[in-house]
Amino acid sequence: MTTTTLIVQGMTCDGCVTAVKRALEGIPGVKEATPSLEKGAVKVDYDPSETSPSSFTPSLEAAGFEVLS
């Protein structure tokens, strides 16, 4: 299992937190996504044999968020 943290712009409330969590956890290979509203970031635990961070950005953008890094 690998963990990465993405900086996400556009999270403003608990609804956004839920949307970010759902967008990421819907990707096969993502075990858990833990967004932080305060930090404007999301920690992602994933299986690197199944997915990679390059898959995370399109899913977040589709959900209406911008990934800064």
Give the interface with Cu ion as residue ranges (CB under 5 A).
12-13, 15-16
Torsion of CA 41, 68, 49, 34, to 10 degrees: 10
State which residue, 1 or 13, has the beta carbon closest to Cu ion: 13
Q: Closest approach of Cβ 56 to Cu ion, in Å?
A: 19
CB of 13 to Cu ion, least distance (A): 3
Closest to Cu ion by CB, 17 vs 30, is: 17
Instruction: Report the distance separating Cα 57 and Cα 69, nearest Å.
Output: 9
Residue closer to Cu ion, measured from CB, 16 or 27: 16
Q: Provide the residue type at 16 as one letter.
A: C
CA distances in angstroms from 67 to 4, 49, 50, 64, listed in the order given:
13, 22, 21, 10
Residue 12 CB, shortest distance to Cu ion, in Å, is: 5
